[in-house]
Amino acid sequence: MGRLLDNVYRPLGLGAMLAVQDLCILLSCGALAVAARTGAPLASTPLFPLMVVLAMLEKLSSISSELAIERDWVTQLAGGCHRSGSRQAPRVVGAACVLDQMNGRAGT
């Protein structure tokens, strides 16, 4: 998923993932409302597998949008462009952790 996000313009990919997440939540709420009107146990209705798939898609899009934001944050922290910044990021993040530990802010 990360490789796919690297090949897409990041704001566009993030917007698409947020739209998919919102759509899945909306459809899940609609399916739940329809299932509540029937009065049958939810697990016995044909809407249950649909709701499971929608929940999985919502979680996948949520993770993808968080990943897109974190990748942008790390490259900005590294102070480079998208490709070279991602190579420098572990060193920069490691140095920031050491500085935090020296200042007594570790774990905050």
Gap between the Cα atoms of 17 and 57, Å rounded: 10
- In 3-state terms the chain splits into helix, strand, coil percentages (rounded to 5) of 85, 0, 15
pTM of the complete model: 0.60
Instruction: Give the per-residue pLDDT at 102.
Output: 62
The residue ranges of every structural domain in the chain are 2-102
Gap between the Cα atoms of 96 and 90, Å rounded: 10
Instruction: Give the per-residue pLDDT at 9.
Output: 78
> What pLDDT, in 10s, does the model give residues 49-68?
999 999 999 999 888 888 77
